[in-house]
Amino acid sequence: MSLAWRFVCALLTGLAGVALASSVAAEELLVGVDRPLAAMVDAGSEVARGPRGTAVLRISDDDSGSARVAWASRPGVRWIASNPEMRRQAVQDPGSEPLRHRQWHLDHIRVDDAWSFTMGDPDVIVAVVDSGLDLDHPDRPEHLIIGPSFAGVPFGDRAGHGTHVAGLIAAPPNRVGVVGVAPNVTVLVLKTDDADGVIRVFDVYRAILYAVDHGAAIVNLSLGLAADNPALGEAISYARERNVLVVAAGGNNHASGDAPIFPAAYPGVLAVGAATGDMVRAAYSRVGDDIALLAPGGANDGGERSGLTGPLPGARFGSIAGTSAAAPIAAGVAALALSTDRRQSAEAVRDRLIRSARDIGEPGRDRDTGAGLLDAGLAVRDAARSFPMRAAIRDLSCPSPAYAGTIARAEARIVNIGGNTWAATPGAAIRLSAIGDSAPFQVFGEWRGGTIVGDVATVPVLPGSSAFPRFLVRFPDSPGDYVARFGLVGPSGRVPGGEFSCTLRVLPVPHWVADDPRVEGPTRARAGTIGWHVIRFRNAGIETWRRDGARPLRLAPVAPRGRASVLFHPAWWHGPSRVTVPREEVISPGETATFDVLVRYPLVPELVDEAFGLVMEQVTWFDVIARLQVDVRP
């Protein structure tokens, strides 16, 4: 029987499962030897030579049988095989659907839970052995390595399959179209089909070895062969022996008898079947003892969840269904798990994905669904347990530039990406601490003392959850550029990954400047009633503020400046655009001005959000504002 490579995928117009029997380049013989090839190959018979003593030989049809026998009898020959091929149809585009809400498969594997810990490490390389890549696609992977074309044609992707697979793994979150499972990992693209879509074993063999030798941690093979082939088996063994995880499509041939598909059927390969949007095995997906788990692949029924949406050549987007699409989803999750703990072996990553899969078939592992449905959240969370205490700084807002001696607020979002919950009880809480010389940045009365700024959170922070510390920073007295460094400290010491820094540009102090605005008073009120609020500003300039005289200090509505306020009280305010003067007669630099504000709440219920600022009459308006927010109810 002739053998055939095939991409194990499906189009929305029908499975791309071309018959397992297909045309074979019978005149080409693939050999692997342990001796120098030059002494074993007849002149003119060699077509191509590969790594590890492999070559493609041209043999006439009449001599193919005798040639096999002759080569098999030679010492040093590891194996002899045909070099099968098939022609694959191009991917069809059902329409442009570049929207995240079309990516139902990400929700089914709970990828948002995994992304709380990591979106991938650029140092983790996933090799895509496929039809190439549209290098001009706006949604191609951000971290990309372009490898060789092993098919003897220029790099590109006429078929579109490789572009789609690479996008399912690592399309970036750039608001262009879709997002991959592991958008921050690096994709190594290796082209193995020629201008006619023909894929040969020898080219895939060379691509796998190239990927392993050039740093790939994971190799995705969305393709299959209907029978064992020694060249392919040797390539898989080469990867496994060098701690590289091979992820392969399980096969779309359930209707034709579930014959084993290689490389999925080789030991140690993560063989991936396809699940539908209803989280059951797709009708086409092969069953077998080698199927490790299912990943979303679509039902291929023409419905809303018929396939997986991803990029296609020409800046387009379309859907593919099949185990060919399920495999890169699993490869992406494997990359996320490995990014979480780089110390894992390939076998450990494979076992982690299997162990964390959700059982959706018969209890326990079964031939239909393997271990169950891939679960990115559980797999990554399980990997994070290897690091009980670990943090990641996701968002940071540093108040810069600012004037010398002023006080400003910094904010951060810090994610617990370790395995333990951050306690909030005294003595066990995770605290924010200054690192190095913190004296210039301390805010006395606000920081806990010494280098300790304060607790990160007032409630426990579970793994995968975030804390949002807000803290005050004092800008040094001398102008210049400063770096304030901070980190998280737990009962056992510093929390890995919890360090960050703020670059502070300190400007010379102008004559008139205010900072540290504060508002006190009710946050809810009845419509038409009277309320009392207190607003404070600190004098951060070098001039003294005065309540009376030629340049009196006033509190006024702002945004825009000088406007009438909805909170205007005619009996107490100085006017619709001026509120009042401070309690204090004199406010020296560093001291605080206090304003007592009597207001009349609107007659109609609304959420009041009024901005107030300072004006030094006849001199200047101050830039800083205080926001008075009140929920006015009937």
Query: Would you list the domain boundaries of the chain?
Result: 24-84, 100-384, 391-507, 514-633
Instruction: Specify the higher pLDDT residue, 560 or 261.
Output: 261
pLDDT recorded at residue 257: 83
Of the candidates 324, 356, 433, 438, the residue annotated as catalytic is: 324
Residue 172: pLDDT over 50: yes
pLDDT recorded at residue 94: 30
Residue whose C-alpha is closest to residue 276's, from 255, 296, 303, 253: 296
Instruction: Specify the higher pLDDT residue, 129 or 543.
Output: 129
Angle between helices 161-170 and 323-340 (to 10 degrees): 30
pLDDT recorded at residue 359: 93
Residue 20: pLDDT over 50: no
Q: What is the mean pLDDT of residues 29-54?
A: 72
**Order of all β-strands in the sheet with 24-33:** 46-50, 54-58, 24-33, 77-84
Instruction: Specify the higher pLDDT residue, 105 or 52.
Output: 105
pLDDT class of 60 with cuts at 50, 70, 90 = low
Please provide the CATH number assigned to the domain covering 391-507.
Answer: 2.60.40.10
Instruction: Specify the higher pLDDT residue, 137 or 508.
Output: 137
pLDDT class of 98 with cuts at 50, 70, 90 = low
Query: What amino acid occupies position 309?
Result: T
Residue 161 annotated to the active site: yes
pLDDT recorded at residue 117: 95
Topology, domain 24-84? Alpha-Beta Plaits (3.30.70)
Residue 105 annotated to the active site: no
pLDDT recorded at residue 64: 63
pLDDT class of 38 with cuts at 50, 70, 90 = low
Give the pair of three-digit tokens for residue 250: 């399980």
Q: What is the mean pLDDT of residues 173-197?
A: 91
DSSP state of 384: H
pLDDT recorded at residue 176: 86
Residues in the chain: 634
Least confident among 121-130, 205-214, 230-239, 442-451: 442-451
Of the candidates 137, 161, 254, 533, the residue annotated as catalytic is: 161
Topology, domain 514-633? Immunoglobulin-like (2.60.40)
Say if residue 550 is exposed, middle or buried (CB neighbours under 10 Å; 0-12, 13-18, 19+). exposed
Distances (CA, A) of 126 to 51, 119, 144, 215, 305: 21, 14, 10, 9, 26
Q: What is the mean pLDDT of residues 573-588?
A: 92
Residue 537: pLDDT over 60: yes
Topology, domain 100-384? Rossmann fold (3.40.50)
Residue 271: pLDDT over 90: yes
Q: What is the mean pLDDT of residues 528-543?
A: 93
Residue 72: pLDDT over 90: no
Task: Please tell me the distance from the alpha carbon of residue 41 to that of residue 324, in angstroms, as a whole number.
Answer: 37
DSSP state of 214: T
pLDDT class of 110 with cuts at 50, 70, 90 = very high
Task: Please tell me the distance from the alpha carbon of residue 291 to that of residue 272, in angstroms, as a whole number.
Answer: 6
Q: Do domains 391-507 and 514-633 have the same CATH topology?
A: yes
Of the candidates 121, 130, 203, 382, the residue annotated as catalytic is: 130
Q: Where are the alpha helices (DSSP H) in 121-190?
A: 161-170
Q: Given CA atoms 357, 362, 365, 368 in this order, what sign does their dihedral have? A: negative
Predicted structure pTM score: 0.75
pLDDT recorded at residue 27: 65
Winning range, highest mean pLDDT, from 139-143, 306-310, 445-449: 139-143
pLDDT recorded at residue 305: 84
Task: Please tell me the distance from the alpha carbon of residue 599 to that of residue 578, in angstroms, as a whole number.
Answer: 12
Q: What is the mean pLDDT of residues 367-394?
A: 94
pLDDT recorded at residue 6: 44
Residue 63: pLDDT over 70: no
Q: What is the mean pLDDT of residues 313-340?
A: 94
Residue 631 annotated to the active site: no
Q: What is the mean pLDDT of residues 550-554?
A: 91
